[in-house]
Amino acid sequence: MKTCRSPAESYFRAGQVRGLACLGYHHNRWHVRDVVVAILQGIRSDEDAGAAIEGLRMAGKDAAEWTVGDTIIRTLRPTLRGGVVNFFEYGEE
């Protein structure tokens, strides 16, 4: 079992989430949103959660809120959920 990730892997995860969140928001593509939600719901490590939060921040608050609504937030890992809620409440961009 791999216990640590390289910075490149975290950077890739952040870019993946950012890119898909922006695409879905700007093109109103529900399928893209579903893909991002599946990625976010599949996150099991705090490191991946941090990378995903960074990706949502890079996508911007509007795109992140469109991608991850109130219903979806409740289904996320606690670390990820807390980071997303903080981002939405305090608008840390």
* Any domain includes 1: no
DSSP H or E run through 71: helix 70-73
Task: Please tell me the predicted confidence (pLDDT) of residue 41.
Answer: 95
Phi/psi at 74 (5° precision): -65, -20
User: Is 68 part of any domain?
Assistant: yes
Tokens 């950012």 locate to: 18
Q: Does residue 49 lie within any of the structural domains?
A: yes
Answer yes or no: is 93 within a domain: no
In a domain, 17, yes or no: yes
Q: How many domains is the chain built from?
A: 1
pLDDT for residue 74 is more than 50 = yes
Q: Is residue 3 part of a domain?
A: no
Is the pLDDT assigned to residue 92 strictly greater than 60? no
Per-residue b or e along 55-79, where b marks 16 or more CB atoms closer than 10 Å to that residue's CB: bbbbbeeebbbbbbeeebeeebbeb
Interval 39-66: pLDDT, tens = 999 999 999 999 999 989 988 898 899 8
Single pTM value for the model: 0.72
